[in-house]
Amino acid sequence: MRSRLTIRFHALVERFFPERRLFLRSDTDTRFIRLRSETQAVAFVGLTALMGWTIVATAILLMDSIGAGNFREQAKREQVTYQQRLNALSAERDARTAEALAAQDRFSAALRQVSVMQTELLDSEARRRELETGIDVIQTTLRDVMKSRENATKRLAELESDLKGEVAVARASGDDATVNLLTDALARVAEERDQVIADAQLSLIRAAEMQAAIETLEDKNDRIFRQLEEAMTVSVLPLDKMFEKAGMNPDRILDEVRKGYSGQGGPLTPLSFSTKGDDAPSPDTLRANRILNQMDRLNLYRIAAQKAPFASPLKDAFRFTSGFGYRWGRLHAGTDFAAPHGTPIYSTADGVVIHADWQSGYGRLVKIQHEFGIETRYAHMSKIRVKVGDRVSRGQRIGDMGNTGRSTGTHLHYEVRVGGKPVNPMIYIKAANDVF
C-alpha cells in the first residue's frame, strides 16, 4: 500500500518537476549533478515560502510605516487641538479674571456712590427737619401776629371811637391843639394796624415758600431713596446667592461676623432726629433705616467675603488637571492647578497658618484656618513663604508651586475643608465668579 502511494506521489511530482542533470565539464573530465524530482519540489516549495514570507513581511513593514505616519500626524493634530483648547481656556480664564476685577471695581464705585448719596440724604433730611421746625415757628408767630392784629383792630376801633368823640368835644370847645394831638394819635394807630397786617402777609408768603422748599426736598429725598433701594437690591441679592451657592447660611454667617465686628457709629447708625423719646419715627426715617440696615448687611458681607475662600489660589495663567471626586477608587479631596514651576500661590481668604511643613503625600504643605470652621490646604509646594502662627490676608503670597510629595508633575493641589470634611473648592470659586 505504501509503495503504491509512493509511486503515485513520485509520478505526480515527476510530472511537474522531471528529473534533471547539471553537467560540469572541465578540460580533462566531465561530471554531472542529478536533480531528482523530489529535490526540485522541495527547493521550489522552499523558494516559494521564502518569497511569500518576504512579500508578507514587506507589506507589514509598509503598513506599519504608513500607520505610524498616520498616528504621528494624528498625534500632532490632537496636540495642536489640545494646545488650542488650552489657549482658549487660558483666554477665557483671563477674560473672566478681567470681568471679575471690573465687577469688583464697579462694586467699590457703587459703594462709594451709595455713601455719598447717604450723606446727601442725611443732609437733606436734616434740612427738611430744620424747615419743618422753621415753619412751626412761623406758624406760631403768625398765629400770635393774627391775634395781635385782631386785638389791634379792636383797640383801634375803640380808640377811633373815643378819639372821634374827643375830637368832636375838642372842636366844640375850640381847642385846636387837643384836636391836632388826637388826630396824630389816630394816624399812628392806623399805621401800626397797617404794619401788623403787612407783617402777617409777609409771614404767609414766607410760610408758602418754605412749604414749597419742603416739597422739593421731599421729592429729592424720594429719588435718593429709590436709587439707594435699587443699589441695595443689586448689591445684596447676588451676595446672598453667592453664600447660598457655597452652602453657607447668609444669616448665620452675618451673625458670626457681627459678633466679631467691634465697629459702631458712623454712617451706618440708624437715623434718629427726634429729641423726644415718645415721638414715633417718620416714614422717611423708617425708610432710611431700612436702607442703612441693608448697607450694614452689605458691609458685613464684604467682611465675610474676605474671611471665606472665594478667591482663586493662583493669579497667573494655569490649567485644571484634576477635579474634586473619586478616581481610581479613592477620593481626590481637592482640585489640581497646573502651571510653571515656581508660580506664586496665594491665600484665598484671611486666616491663621496652622501648618507649614512637609507632610507625607502632600509634600511641602500649608494649612490655613479661616472663620466659619473652614480650612484650606496648599500642597506639593516647592517653597513655603509663611510659618505657623502667621496671620495672612486674602491675596497674600504663601508659597511657590512645585512637585514635592506624591505628585506626577508640577501642580498645586488645593483643598477646602469645612468642619474637617473636604468639599469641592470650585463651589466657592464659581460662586464668587457670579458676583466678582
pLDDT per position as a tens digit, 236-248: 666 777 777 777 7
pLDDT at residue 172 greater than cutoff 60: no
* pLDDT at residue 397 tops 50: yes
* Nearest-angstrom CA–CA distance, 217 and 221: 6
Provide φ and ψ at 77, rounded to 5°: -65, -45
Q: Given this model, what pLDDT does residue 28 score? A: 76
Residue 391 and residue 369: Cα distance in Å, rounded?
10
- Alpha-carbon distances of 54 from 41, 48, 51, 61, rounded to whole Å: 20, 10, 5, 10
Weakest-pLDDT range from 48-62, 202-216, 227-241: 227-241
Q: Name, in order, each residue with C-beta under 8 angstroms of 203's C-beta and a sequence gap of 6 or more.
A: 138, 141, 142, 145
| CA pair distance 345, 18, nearest whole angstrom | 89
Query: Is-contact 311 374, C-beta < 8 A?
Result: no
Task: Give the distance from CA 203 to its chain's centroid.
Answer: 57
CA gap 334, 417 in Å, rounded: 9
Give me the residues paired with residue 356 across strands: 366
Using pLDDT thresholds of 50, 70 and 90, give the confidence band for residue 265: very low
Residues 6+ apart with CB under 8 A from 391: 350, 351, 352, 353
pLDDT in tens, 204-227: 777 777 777 777 777 777 777 677
- Model-level pTM greater than 0.75? no
pLDDT at 111: 65
Range picked from 70-74, 160-164, 390-394 for highest mean pLDDT:
390-394
Residue 267's pLDDT is 40
379 confidence band (pLDDT: 50, 70, 90): very high
* Highest mean pLDDT (candidates 113-122, 227-236, 397-406): 397-406
- In the prediction, which pLDDT does 275 show? 43
Render pLDDT for 91-140 as a digit per residue (tens, 0 to 9). 776 776 666 666 666 666 666 666 666 676 666 667 767 766 766 766 67
Q: Give the position of cell 510629595.
A: 405
Could you give the 3-state DSSP secondary structure of residue 397? strand
- Cα four-point dihedral sign 173, 179, 185, 188: positive
User: What one-character-per-residue DSSP string does 306-324 give?
Assistant: HHTT-S-S--S--EEEE-S
For residue 24, pLDDT over 60 is answered with yes
Percentage of the chain with pLDDT > 70? 65
Quick one: which H or E segment has residue 131? helix 37-173
Helix extents (H) in 174-249:
176-245
199 or 352, which is more confident?
Answer: 352
- Residue 400: pLDDT band with limits 50, 70, 90: very high
Q: What confidence score (pLDDT) does residue 329 get?
A: 80
Residue bearing the bigger pLDDT, 175 or 195: 195
Instruction: Identify the band that residue 391 occupies on the pLDDT scale cut at 50, 70 and 90.
Output: very high
CB-CB contact of 363 with 380 (8 Å):
yes
Q: What's the rounded Cα separation, in Å, for the pair 33 and 302? A: 107
How much is the average pLDDT of 26-42? 75
Check: CB of residue 306 under 8 Å from CB of residue 349: yes
Radius of gyration of the chain (CA): 52
Instruction: Report, as an integer, the average pLDDT of 2-9.
Output: 72
Percentage of the chain beyond pLDDT 90 is: 19
Residue 417 has pLDDT above 60, yes or no: yes
Arithmetic mean of pLDDT, 51-63: 87
Indicate the average pLDDT of the chain: 76
pLDDT grade, residue 377 (50/70/90)?
Answer: very high
Q: How far apart are CA 150 and CA 153, in angstroms?
A: 5
CA distance 402 to 412: 7
For 203, the 3-state DSSP assignment is: helix
